[in-house]
Amino acid sequence: MLFDSFDLVSALTTLVACLVSVALLVAVSQQLWQLRWAATRDKSCKLPIPKGSMGFPLVGETFHWILQGSNFQSSRREKYGNVFKTHLLGRPLIRVTGAENIRKILMGEHHLVSAEWPRSTRMLLGPNSLTNSIGDIHRHKRKVFAKLFSQEALDTYLPKIQLVIQDTLRVWSSSPDPINVYCEAQKLTFRMAIRVLLGFRLSDEELNFLFRVFQQFVENVFSLPVDIPFSGYRRGMRARETLLKSLEKAIQEKLQNTQGKDYTDALDVLIESGKEHGNELTMQELQDGTLELIFAAYATTASASTSLIMQLLKHPNVLEKLREELRSHGILHNGCVCEGALRVDTVTTLPYLDCVIKELLRLYSPISGGYRTVQQTFELDGFQIPKGWSVLYSIRDTHDTAPVFKDVDVFDPDRFGQDRTEDKDGRFHYLPFGGGVRNCLGKQLAKLFLKTLAIELASMSRFELATRTFPKVMPVPVVHPSSELKVRFYGLDSNQNEIVTETEAMLGATV
């Protein structure tokens, strides 16, 4: 018995010693990791580098960022200020909040900073994407892509967008069960990208297959760039390969079917723009451009569409005020959208609808910010921003902390009305689509889609929350509900009365 007790004590002592050794090793390696990045400061600049933590070796604070969501930025901003350092997705990073700080970054494109997304994002979107291009190549690509979102192009897209939204709302209204809004919004925006922007003639089976693969692709766009079996990066690259094969087939079929026909979608314009500039696009460039178009139209628009439905549910007075505006402008008559009433020039000049979408994008900006790489050391808030580091300017936190906005947590479309000036006091306090030479080219299309969705929601559907409470909102990788947003939709007739199916009518008669 004595020897047994001695063995137990010896084993415990050994275990404690091992644990202490591991703890010391972790502490030492973490300190060396912090010193490794502290040594990258620009010695020619007397200013210190920003405060903050670089987390653990290699992974940095990536897992903290994923798990903490919006609390990650806010907690560190409170502790370190509007400019702080961290390490995310395999790279050292300085996160920046505040209109003046962001102005310096966005206006410093091409001399202070250049655009460079995390390696996983760059590799998954492809080397020929607009996102990854810089300098003259970027300027040329922007000229080509700008035609995809011109006034003329939007006029062509709008009737098709309206039809896709109407068909989707009919499906939602015919479902006997509540729908998961975020999941269905993703399907809606994916369908819009494939059928409206690209003009692909895919069967429902092919469309559903592509959607599942694309979801896997998007889920891993912001992953640790570690190419090992079962890693998110590896899954994302496999999804990319599958998508490119399917896209090549669809592009080839489209090229054959559209010869000699009018150009009516974004892919047509992309192909023709390349020819006009004497640089016909290769299949690889068309594949990357197509994939980037789907990516741009999908995740952020699905996020904003979900937030729109949630806010209209929370604020029925906003929905009714919106209906009143549509009636007064002759768009709604007897509860439905008048045929031919929706035109781009009409939709974009509805003042209250514009306020609703602006407020939605202020409070629930889909993306958190944009990445830049520092080309030469410069100063922000009394700190040096060293050459070679990455900078992430924060859109959401700048909106949340902007002094020009009152009651920032309140959904209040009237703050953008003519009687108030909250959106006019400062250029970089409000930037849901970024700014500078890399502002979002598709912002007008995104706003047109959201406005059309709001109009159709106001006209052809009654909808109500199917759960007791609204889910919390998560900000990473885009704003989305933390759990399912379950909503029940009801079809309406032209007088805003609920459409009752034959089965429901029979059941009601027997009660």
In tens digits, the chain (511 residues) has pLDDT values of 544 565 666 667 777 767 766 667 666 666 677 777 777 888 899 999 999 988 888 788 888 887 777 788 888 999 999 999 998 877 888 999 999 999 999 999 888 998 877 888 888 888 777 777 777 777 777 887 888 888 889 999 999 999 999 999 999 999 999 999 999 999 999 999 998 989 888 888 999 999 999 999 988 888 888 888 889 899 999 999 999 999 898 888 877 765 545 557 888 888 777 666 666 778 888 888 899 889 888 989 999 999 999 999 999 999 999 999 999 988 876 666 766 668 898 898 899 999 999 999 999 999 888 889 999 999 999 999 999 999 999 999 999 999 999 999 999 999 999 888 777 767 789 999 988 878 888 899 999 999 999 999 998 768 999 999 999 988 877 889 988 999 999 875 444 445 444 333 333 433 3
Domain boundaries, position 192: 133-364+438-510
Q: Is residue 71 part of a domain?
A: no
Residue among 308, 299, 311, 305 nearest 470 (CA): 311
Q: Is residue 346 part of a domain?
A: yes
Q: Is residue 99 part of a domain?
A: no
Report in angstroms the alpha-carbon separations of 278 from 251, 274, 433: 20, 7, 31
Q: Letter for the amino acid at 224?
A: L
Q: How far apart are CA 349 and CA 42, in angstroms?
A: 50
Q: What is the pLDDT of residue 113?
A: 92
Q: Is residue 19 part of a domain?
A: no
Max Cα–Cα distance, the chain, nearest Å: 96
Q: Where are the beta strands (DSSP E) in 78-228?
A: 83-88, 91-96, 113-114, 179-180
Q: Based on C-alpha coordinates, what's the Rg of the chain? A: 26
**What are the tens digits of pLDDT across the range 450-490?**
999 999 999 876 899 999 999 998 887 788 998 899 999 98
DSSP state string for 437-499 = GG--TTHHHHHHHHHHHHHHHHHHEEEEESSSSPPPEE-SSS-EESS--EEEEEEB-TTSPBP
SS (H, E, C) 412-428: CHHHHCCCCCCCCCCCC
Q: How far apart are CA 476 and CA 503, in angstroms?
A: 43
Q: Is residue 262 part of a domain?
A: yes
In the block, tokens 């594949």 appear at 287
Q: Is residue 233 part of a domain?
A: yes
CATH code of residue 359: 1.10.630.10
Q: Is residue 236 part of a domain?
A: yes
Secondary structure of residue 88 in the 3-state scheme: strand
Count of structural domains, the chain: 1
Q: Is residue 248 part of a domain?
A: yes
Q: What is the pLDDT of residue 430?
A: 93
Q: How far apart are CA 193 and CA 86, in angstroms?
A: 35
Q: What is the pLDDT of residue 56?
A: 83
Q: What is the pLDDT of residue 245?
A: 92
**What are the tens digits of pLDDT across the range 67-110?**
777 788 888 999 999 999 998 877 888 999 999 999 999 999 88
CB 217 within 8 A of CB 284: no
Sequence length of the chain is: 511
